[in-house]
Amino acid sequence: MPDERPTPMQQVLRCSSLLREGWHDKASLARRLGVSERAVKRYLHAIAQEDNEFEVRQVDERGLRTYRIRPPRFVDRRKGSPYEVLALAMAERFFRAIDPGGVADLLDQILFEVTGEEEDAEQDEHGRRRRSFSRRFALARAPQPLPGTVRHAFDQVLRAVVDRRVIDLSYHSRSGPSRSYVLRPYTLVLGEAELAVTGAVGEPPEDGAAREGDSIRTFALHRIEGIELRKTRFTMPHLGLWDPDARFAGSWGLYSGPPEPVRVAVHPAFADLAARRRWHPSQRVGNPTEDGWIPIEFDVFTGGEFRTWLLGWGPWLRVEEPRSLAAWLDTMRSIAIGGSDPSPDEVFRIA
């Protein structure tokens, strides 16, 4: 009697069919197909190799994952405003660079619905991607792709921010051993070269509401060693208690602190650039001084990325106030290459 068991290829096709029905975890796929979870893992790998992409989502705190193949969606064209299209396209490009799939795929689908790019119902997924409207926009300097551990932290933090869920963090700061924190993640912070999350630390009250005097901290995602989402939810504070724009108004990038008045002057050759470029909201450009140099004033946190910006000017910028910042810049310029060891603050500022 011939063997009527399905061949591996038939099982892969059956697995694809189940994934098109909806979300399945490996255990449910194994039960439906009558195979082991190890075999299901091979089938998922084979499906991915055929450029038939499936979506993955983590559904609980234990790391359980479910999978599906997104069904084709053909929608009636509805016109989006140019601003909506631009925002979606640039956001898709940003998230595609740091976190392929996930958020980027969702934005990509929305973009197609807004622009009506899916006009040919016969085109395959690869053809759809090649015609994607987001190809008409590019980031000249794309963010670095997130390492695996940071990508996991990003996925969890994004879920917690959207769902307003309390999280437990294991965090390795710039100095000292790792510490544990309980965080109500209010805001995802996009820096020039990294991501962070900021919010209130400490056990939340029973009603999950913010309180005057809550301790607010910012955590860089690449320093998160462990993260767990609680089922407990919190309430976003009103603007009087939490205004992220105001908190980072004095910062040059991700790292913030008390702003202070800064006055610099740049070489006359950069007069046109100084008149056109706005590096910071507090920027004020004055008239050239007697030597022709152009004064620029800021109210800014003088640590972090601001110091990297100062060094990038080389000899074509001088700091006039505060004197402590001018002395630091003079010291840095006087050091020969490899002439000394960087301080922990220097490593932090650049890395």
Q: Decide: residue 320, CB within 10 A, 0-12 exposed, 13-18 middle, 19+ buried.
A: middle
Which residue shows structure tokens 């591996």? 8
Distance (Å, rounded) from C-alpha 70 to C-alpha 106? Answer: 11
Mapped onto helix, strand or coil, the DSSP state of residue 30 is: helix
Q: Alpha-carbon torsion 37, 43, 49, 50, what sign?
A: negative
16 close to 71: Cβ distance less than 8 angstroms:
no
Concatenated DSSP letters of 118-176: ---TT--HHHHHHT-GGGG---TTPPPPPPHHHHHHHHHHHHHHHHTEEEEEEE--SSS
The label of the residue with tokens 């100095």 reads 175
| Among the listed residues 41, 131, 133, the one whose alpha carbon sits nearest the alpha carbon of residue 79 | 133
Alpha-helical runs (H) found in the chain? 8-21, 26-33, 37-49, 82-98, 103-115, 125-130, 148-163, 244-247, 271-276, 305-312, 323-334, 344-350
Spell out the per-residue pLDDT of the chain, length 351, in tens. 455 778 888 888 888 888 877 788 899 999 999 999 999 988 888 887 664 556 666 555 566 788 877 655 444 445 566 666 677 777 777 777 666 666 777 777 777 766 665 444 444 554 555 455 556 666 677 666 777 778 888 888 888 888 899 999 999 887 778 899 999 999 988 876 678 899 999 998 888 888 888 888 889 888 899 999 998 899 898 888 888 888 888 888 877 788 999 999 999 999 999 999 999 989 999 999 999 999 999 999 998 889 999 999 999 999 999 999 999 999 999 988 888 888 777 766 665
What pLDDT is stored for residue 63 in this prediction? 67
Tell me what pLDDT residue 314 has.
93
Supply 92's token pair.
């898709």
pLDDT of residue 75: 40
Q: Which residue segments constitute the domains of the chain, with CATH numbers given?
A: 8-68 (1.10.10.10), 82-136 (no CATH), 148-241 (2.30.30), 260-350 (no CATH)
Q: What pLDDT sits at residue 120?
A: 47
Distance CA 84, CA 95 (A): 16
> What's 351's DSSP letter?
-
Cβ(223)–Cβ(172) below 8 Å: yes
Helix (H) or strand (E) holding 221: none
Instruction: Provide the whole-model pTM.
Output: 0.61
